[in-house]
Amino acid sequence: MTAQAVQQSDLAVVIGLEVHVQLETDTKIFCGCSTDVADAEPNTHTCPVCLGLPGALPVLNRAAVESAVRVGKAIDADIPEETTFHRKNYFYPDLPKGFQITQYDAPVCQNGELEIEVEGERRTVGVRRAHLEEDPGSLQHKGGNIDTADYTLVNYNRAGVPLMEIVTEPDFRGAEEVRAFLAKLEEVLEYLGVFDSQRDGSLRIDANLSVVEADEIGDDGDVSDEALESANRTEVKNISSHKGAEKALSYEAQRQKNAVQRGREVEQETRHWDESRGITVSMRSKEEEKDYRYFREADLPPLQVSDWKRELDIPELPDARRERFGEEYGLSDEAASKLTSTRQVADFYEDVASEYDPDLAATWVADNLLGELNYRDMEVTDVADRLGEFKRLVELVAAEEITTKNAEETVLREMLDEGDDPETIIEREGLGKADEGEIEGAVTAAIEENPDAVEDYHAGEGGALNFLVGQVMQRTGGSADPGSVNQLLRERLDE
């Protein structure tokens, strides 16, 4: 079949990812400089090592390796007996040494996998390798973009922040799968405590994309190695968000399909995702491995890591926890998913569920707390130090010291809006539950003042009782429980 004869509908997309993840460590990967650089003045978190001054020697950060091994355990990767570091040589102003220390033929994680779910279907994405490396510095183009700027500033605060590059097999068949993978990956990394998605630039994605004829793809989604190798692919750089990935890949897939359909060959090249214009643009012909002149980093000895895998623990991961929440607490899939979305939410739920009814805890954490936070564009991390207050609110509800309605509609909302604790709000708004005497008095008054309604009640009119309940509720400022008011009224009216 000639290229011209190929219809767009006969083409399928193949995608593989190289995901760069910043690991959360206190110090950089080869020196003692702090990684806490978000608000730092440019070039203040630097030293001879991360500036690449002659004679400075790298010292490997144990915490970075531990994080990498934990990631390896979570994705079920092989951790080799020995892992080594290499120099990847290239010149760019953000790389003061003229090479990046990375890993090459013995990366710390090999042959892992991660399961994703798209539209109810589960698929396993292979992770070819995941290796440690150092982040380069960052460039700031002034007065334009990379092509048009008047000048460019360089900041080496980021140089040497530990990165893990996670390279997948070309197992994705569409942008939705990529999005599901990235979400899952972030979730797992956050559970492991090695990653912070809120940190600017903590996840950066290069995506490789090619189009093949649809009948090259088997029922199980597999593509033959020959088809993969013969397909010309582009590598799209500079993707920094899940949404960006989906947009960039949809664009690039269409661009390649159009080219093939017009009988043109797709150039094997590196392209740049231009977020503001929503297009990918050609950067350069794709560099090859031999361009980098990889050789062993002689300043770092080989590292024996196989034992670390046994010695290091990882927490229960989101999928397992979700399943257990369903079984142990009888939660729906939806509730279990919400409650395991982050480790902090899951821990908080279990803390509350261990003391109060698991269903009550689920309603309070999944629906009320997460719902109100979401409405305010907030995350649980924003109220991390106030979880004790939320737990006290659940306790007040469980002990029937306050009505559910008042707790949800007044106390919780004011806690978030005003920052006060539940007791202060209850006191200020007079929301403590009315005592029995107060309720009895309100019931008597409601009966005495509404003879018509009492008559209607005795005549069998259902609405009359609701009206009387409403009267009592009003008198007690909503601090009585409607169910018991209802009962009390009926008892008195039926006397």
Binding site for ligand ADP (CB under 6 A): 14-18, 167-170, 208-210, 228, 231, 233, 289
| CA 228 – CA 124 distance, rounded (Å) | 18
Q: Are strands 162-168 and 11-22 parallel, antiparallel or unpaired?
A: antiparallel
Partner touching 33 among ligand ADP, Zn ion, none, CB below 5 to 8 Å by kind: Zn ion
Which residue, among 227, 272, 62, 249, has the nearest Cα to 174 in the 3D structure? 249
**Residue 14 C-beta: closest distance to ligand ADP, Å:** 4
**Residue 290 C-beta: closest distance to ligand ADP, Å:** 11
| CA 336 – CA 321 distance, rounded (Å) | 8
49 vs 454, beta carbon nearer Zn ion: 49
| CA 251 – CA 387 distance, rounded (Å) | 43
100 vs 208, beta carbon nearer ligand ADP: 208
* Exposed / middle / buried, residue 252 (Cβ in 10 Å: 0-12, 13-18, 19+): buried
List the interface residues with Zn ion, window 330-389 (CB under 5 A). none
Residues 235, 207: contact at Cβ < 8 Å? yes
Q: Residue 300, Cβ neighbours under 10 Å: how many?
A: 17
> Is 50 one of the binding residues for Zn ion (CB under 5 A)?
yes
Tell me, what amino acid is at 56? A
**Residue 317 C-beta: closest distance to ligand ADP, Å:** 23
| CA 360 – CA 95 distance, rounded (Å) | 54
Partner touching 351 among Zn ion, ligand ADP, none, CB below 5 to 8 Å by kind: none
126 vs 326, beta carbon nearer ligand ADP: 126
Give me 234's structure tokens. Answer: 């582009």
37 vs 167, beta carbon nearer ligand ADP: 167
Residue from 17, 21, 29, 33 in contact with Zn ion (CB under 5 A)? 33
34 vs 410, beta carbon nearer Zn ion: 34
**Residue 17 C-beta: closest distance to ligand ADP, Å:** 5
Which residue, among 245, 250, 284, 244, has the nearest Cα to 267 in the 3D structure? 284
Q: Enumerate the β-bridge partners of residue 74.
A: none
**Residue 281 C-beta: closest distance to ligand ADP, Å:** 19
**Residue 48 C-beta: closest distance to Zn ion, Å:** 7
**Residue 125 C-beta: closest distance to ligand ADP, Å:** 10
List the interface residues with Zn ion, window 284-323 (CB under 5 A). none
Partner touching 17 among ligand ADP, Zn ion, none, CB below 5 to 8 Å by kind: ligand ADP
15 vs 396, beta carbon nearer ligand ADP: 15
Phi and psi for 19 in degrees, rounded to 5?
Answer: -105, 125
Q: What is the dihedral of CA 152, 30, 72, 296, to 10 degrees?
A: 90
Rounded to the nearest angstrom, the gap between the alpha carbon of residue 89 and the centroid of all alpha carbons in its chain is: 33
202 vs 210, beta carbon nearer ligand ADP: 210
Binding site for Zn ion (CB under 5 A): 31, 33, 47, 49-50
